[in-house]
Amino acid sequence: MTPQELSLALARILTDIVEERRSRTEGGATGELVVTVQDTQVERPKNRDHGDWSSNAAMKFAKRLGVPPRELAEQIISRAAEIDGVARAEIAGPGFINLTLDVASAGETARRVVEQGAAYGRGDALAGQVINMEFVSANPTGPLHMGHTRWAALGDSTARVLRAAGAEVTSEYYINDAGAQMNKFGRSVLAAALHEPAPEDAYPGEYIQQLGSRVREQLPNLAELADQDRDAALDQAQELAYQLQLAEIKDSLERFNVHFDVFFSERTLHAPGEHGEPSPIEAAIDRLREQGHVFTEDDAIWVRTTDFGDDKDRVFTRGNGVYTYFAADAAYYLSKMDRGFGEKIYLLGADHHGYIGRLTAIAGAAGDNIETDITVLIGQLVNLNGARLSKRAGNIIELDDLLEWLGADALRYWLARYPADSPLALDGEQLRSRTNDNPVFYVQYAHARTCAVDRNAATAGIDRSTFAPGLLEHPTETDLLGKLQQYPGIVAGAAELREPHRVTRYLEELAASFHRWYDNCRVIPLGEEPVGDLHRTRLWLNDAAGQVLRNGLDLIGVTAPERL
């Protein structure tokens, strides 16, 4: 019996009560009343004397039904006691409904987890939703740095959680490979490749010199070409350096266990079609004009974004015919619409608050519902004590250096552990520590312990040939089973709220429950004690805990080691 199943059973009971009252009163206060599972959700009581699960459904509906809360609670518990697996149903306080499961019903959770394996916790709460999630999207003009790490971790974790809840998610990286910053990048690399003084506005850092060396090796005739046609040499050097730097970015992300389904090039938005069709940016102007949101003023083309809450109208094309960044943003958004994405999620850095209004306005001008079809999340900065500036880049802390120093697991776990909108100050030495004060170590150690129990059980001849859930009656077993039952709801909630930190906090609670159980309940008998059904059944519970720890860690892109 899971919390979701209990909530559904209570919803059915309350629906029956509403229908009965409706038939007696010919509608009345119950006329428009509909009961949903969200209305009857159960929670784990803080005081275990109050049962396994508690609901405030009676207090929610009493006023709407015109009855005292305790009277409604009495009607509910008289039927809840008949729910299969419920041993006791009681009223507490002003009308709380407290439910206690029978031991065997609670224990069945262990079998369910083990049998479902990696699928346990996955559901269909967001089934049918097709979501595009864009994050990181750093300019391909240098290595990824600490400023990108938070969104890399949170973006990938959020995508994993959404998929676990049944959504179809495409993780997308928008490559800003057009415009002034790319030209600056190309000039910087060309100068390095030709051993020339760096331009005044050159990108700093040893990595530019390294790129220059690689470009020179792969384009041995670059110097001759530069003497004959400087622009052609610049184009070739810039394109090769761009591809080399982009490959490095992709490699860094993979080392960070962050995966993208699509790398979308901004340059494609400026390029005309193969047969002379307008570029996506030009097509975007026409589409928004058809929607009635484009106007011309002072030789510039504008989009009336103030109609959708933006603080000012936005310029699409200036009098000189040069497209603005807004034009590319609009064309890119329309591309996402054309590719069939319902919700478009943007994960942006702390300095991008101004993008909320303009992106929302683009969605509205394109005909989307700005309440449901676009979500813009803004993350706060990360400060990491002990981190050193990159030797290659000089003025930044590179992601690769952080991975070498801290490892992907520690960095990803800590970055996913807090809400995106909270400033984050981390202690590098704490992230590296192998103590219970380090949450990622604490959770991974719990998983490693489950694997050690498995190995020792095999040596002792204990297997899962018997499962007697009624034997799992120790208080720490009841607590651990309750935690395992909560996991599917945690995943669904984290997905609906786009908050993967809820998974990390749950894993820490689950690890604590497992460690307490491990200290009190033995899978391996002591001394000459024979192996019995209790030991075999406890092995099921051990393996169930390990499975959920693995499943949860996977949702945040962290490994579940078998040994530490």
E strand spans, 221-268: 262-265
**Could you tell me the pTM of the whole model?**
0.89
pLDDT tens digits for range 264-280: 999 999 999 888 889 99
Rg of the chain over Cα atoms, rounded to whole angstroms, equals 29
pLDDT tens digits for range 536-555: 999 999 999 999 999 999 99
In the predicted structure, residue 406 carries a pLDDT above the cut 60: yes
**CATH node for 147-174+260-378:** 3.40.50.620
Write down the pLDDT at residue 36.
79
Is the domain spanning 3-101 CATH 3.40.50.720? The answer is no
In the predicted structure, residue 47 carries a pLDDT above the cut 80: no
pLDDT tens digits for range 154-199: 999 999 999 999 999 999 999 999 989 999 999 999 999 999 999 9
pLDDT tens digits for range 340-399: 999 999 998 877 777 888 899 999 999 999 999 999 998 887 888 888 766 676 778 899
Assign domain 435-555 to its CATH architecture.
Orthogonal Bundle (1.10)
Separation CA 301–CA 320 (nearest Å): 11
pLDDT tens digits for range 210-265: 999 999 999 999 999 999 999 999 999 999 999 999 999 999 999 999 999 999 99
In the predicted structure, residue 302 carries a pLDDT above the cut 80: yes
Block residue for tokens 């049998």:
115
Task: Residue 172: name the closest of 409, 400, 346, 433 by CA.
Answer: 346
Residues of the chain with CATH 3.40.50.620: 147-174+260-378
How many CB atoms sit inside 10 A of residue 421's CB?
10
Residues of the chain with CATH 3.30.1360.70: 3-101
Q: Helix (H, G, I), strand (E, B), or coil: what is residue 416?
A: helix
Residues of the chain with CATH 1.10.730.10: 435-555
Helix 206-218 vs helix 180-193: crossing angle, to nearest 10: 70
How many CB atoms sit inside 10 A of residue 195's CB?
11
Average pLDDT of the chain, as a whole number: 91
